[in-house]
Amino acid sequence: MSPEVTEVQLQVRFVTKQQQYAVPDSPYAIQSTVQSSDLNTLLNALLKEDNPTIKKIEFDFIISGELLCSSLAELLHEKCLSTEDTIEIEYIERFPAPSPQDCLMHDDWVSAVHAHGNWILSGCYDNSIHIWSSKGQHKLAIPGHTSPVKAVSWVHFSGEQGVFVSGSHDQSAMLWVWNVNNNSVDCVVTCRGHEKGVECLAVSADTLRFATGSWDNNISLWSTSLSQDESAPVKKKSKPENGNSREPLTTLKGHREAVSAVKWMDYNTLLSSSWDHLLKLWDCELGGIKQEIAGNKAFFDADWSPLNNSIITASADRHLRLYDPRSTESLVRTTYTSHTGWVQSVCWSITRDTLFLSAGYDGQVKLWETRSPRTPLYDLSGHEDKVLCCDWSNPSLLVSGSCDNTLRIFKAKHAVGAV
């Protein structure tokens, strides 16, 4: 240990936003070499003084905006904080490790996944789409595409009817209706307009439109309407295919290479990432670019969180980057490093504003806390090959698909909690 981080006695004060775990505001004297486990022991002892029947609780500790993952002295040294001052330590109940639930076998690489309520959609390199229950029961294998399926998303459920959309390297996106009671599906509309494969898609929050991103460098917007109305251009099929053929409402042009991700930020704003090293924010009504953020590597995926208004990105250089699109200074707020290969997929928690998932070519799925840039909270191991997709759309389910032909389901024990 260097001289700057030698053991000294510190004055600390514990604070929390979770009032049920509040302890007296008075300062405590502790050694600077303590780690998170030591602080947990102390804090639980203080809580037990007030409530002898309380069970042991695991906490995480935040000092100057960063999660404590080393000794207190090392973090203070890194943050250039004086050991003479009283150190304020914020504590939060630790998000428990998700537990592995199921491993769902496919016949080929699993390249797309989306969970909604009790149901999971997966897309596969053998051109098929699959519907699974959240408990791992296989409901349907759906043929229809003629090339690998690269994107799937539920649109909405009404009663016993589920609507979903799929995008494929066959250059099409398909709108499907699933009758849950009969366990039957129909392709209602085939959306055609891209000149190369569809790589990604996203459904708007009002479920009236969806966007597709393609290897032709373009983004297309489509109506999710199942009927033939004026807002959804439809051409009657001239050759046998699934459903009627629909043309895009709008095509957004501006990327110079493949579009790797599209995400709706509000009803009119769309985020896109591309292999051209650019993130773009689009005004869908005007068809123009509102903002452009330049990266230093190809973006393989991006996700935006309405809870914190931040963008997390996956890149070819193994790093995850957190962007604040509102910032007037450095747009990259934090860089997260733990993967040893390309990072292929990222996904925010929809209930916790500081948690997100990443999945990569190193076969790893990692659960991150935004305030811990060097160490993920948990490694969700199990895959034996490259991980191509991950999703956290259901607060209690974390799902990931891999080149090992499996879809893995992890259960989050505390899906919602104060942060």
Which CATH number fits the domain that encloses residue 38?
3.10.20.90
Question: What pLDDT sits at residue 229?
Answer: 58
Q: What are the tokens at 125?
A: 């390199």
For the residues 413-417, what does the mean pLDDT come to?
A: 54
pTM: 0.91
Q: At 235, is the pLDDT very low, low, confident or very high (cuts 50, 70, 90)?
A: low
| Measured distance between the N- and C-terminal CA atoms of the chain, rounded to whole angstroms | 33
165 part of a folded domain: yes
Question: Cα-flanking dihedrals φ and ψ of residue 399, to 5°?
Answer: -130, 150
Residue 417 lies in a domain: no
Q: What is the pLDDT of residues 78-88, one digit of tens each?
A: 888 888 889 99
pLDDT of residue 327: 81
Residue 189 pLDDT greater than 50, yes or no: yes
CATH number of the domain that 388 lies in? 2.130.10.10
Q: What is the spatial distance between Cα 38 and Cα 36, in angstroms, rounded to a whole number?
A: 5
Q: Is residue 104 part of a domain?
A: yes
Q: How many domains are contained in the chain?
A: 2
Report yes or no on 108 lying in a domain.
Answer: yes
Question: Which pLDDT band, with edges at 50, 70 and 90, does 91 fall under?
Answer: very high
Q: What is the pLDDT of residue 418?
A: 37
Cα 191 from Cα 383, distance rounded (Å): 33
Residue 345 domain-assigned (yes or no): yes
Q: Among 71, 93, 115, where does a domain finish?
A: 93
Confidence tier at 33 by pLDDT (50, 70, 90): very high
Q: How confident is the model at residue 328 (pLDDT cuts 50, 70, 90)?
A: confident
Question: Among all chains, which residue has been given the structure tokens 């670019």?
Answer: 289
Q: Are residues 120 and 81 in the same domain?
A: no
Q: What confidence score (pLDDT) does residue 159 get?
A: 82
pLDDT of residue 308 exceeding 60: yes
**Confidence class of residue 230 from pLDDT cuts 50, 70 and 90?**
very low
The reply to whether 88 and 105 lie within a common domain is no
Structure-model confidence comparison of residues 381 and 232, the more confident one = 381
pLDDT in tens, 4-18: 456 889 999 999 999
Residue 120 · residue 393 · CB < 8 Å: no
Q: Clarify whether residues 60 and 186 are in a common domain.
A: no
Does the pLDDT value for residue 249 go beyond 90? yes
What pLDDT is attached to residue 241?
54
Please count the other Cβ atoms lying within 10 Å of the Cβ belonging to residue 138: 13
Please check whether residues 131 and 205 belong to one and the same domain: yes
Determine, yes or no, domain membership for 418: no
Using the predicted structure, report yes or no on whether residue 407 has a pLDDT greater than 90. Answer: yes
The stretch 300-305 carries a mean pLDDT of: 98
Q: Domain range for residue 46?
A: 3-93
> Would you state the pLDDT for residue 281?
97
The answer on 165 and 256 residing in a single domain is yes
Is the pLDDT at 264 greater than 60? The verdict is yes
How confident is residue 413, by pLDDT bands cut at 50, 70 and 90? confident
Domain final position from 68, 93, 118: 93
Check residue 242 and give its pLDDT. Answer: 67
Average pLDDT over residues 278-296: 94
Count Cβ atoms within 10 A of the Cβ of residue 354 and give its class: 0-12 exposed, 13-18 middle, 19 or more buried.
buried
Asked if 13 and 132 sit in the same domain, the reply is no
Q: Is residue 7 part of a domain?
A: yes
Q: Do the beta carbons of residue 397 and residue 412 sit within 8 Å? A: yes
Say yes or no: 82 and 213 in one domain. no
Residue 105 pLDDT more than 80? yes
pLDDT score of 234 = 52
**Are 276 and 367 in the same domain?**
yes
Q: Are residues 55 and 162 in the same domain?
A: no
Which of the listed residues 53, 74, 93 is the one where a domain comes to its end? 93
Give the pLDDT confidence score for residue 83 in this predicted structure.
Answer: 86
- Confidence band for 158, pLDDT divided at 50, 70 and 90: confident
Q: 123 or 49: which carries more pLDDT confidence?
A: 123
pLDDT at 419 over 70: no
Q: Please report the pLDDT score of residue 239 as a whole number.
A: 44
The percentage of residues in the chain with a pLDDT greater than 70, rounded to a whole number, is 93
Per the domain annotation, does 38 fall within a domain? yes
Q: Shortest CA distance to 307 belongs to which of 356, 237, 360?
A: 356
Same domain, 138 and 248: yes
Is the confidence at residue 131, as pLDDT, over 90?
yes
Is the same domain home to 82 and 154? no
Identify the pLDDT of residue 204: 96
The tokens of 381 are what? Answer: 């191991």
Same domain, 40 and 148: no
Mean per-residue pLDDT over the chain, rounded:
92
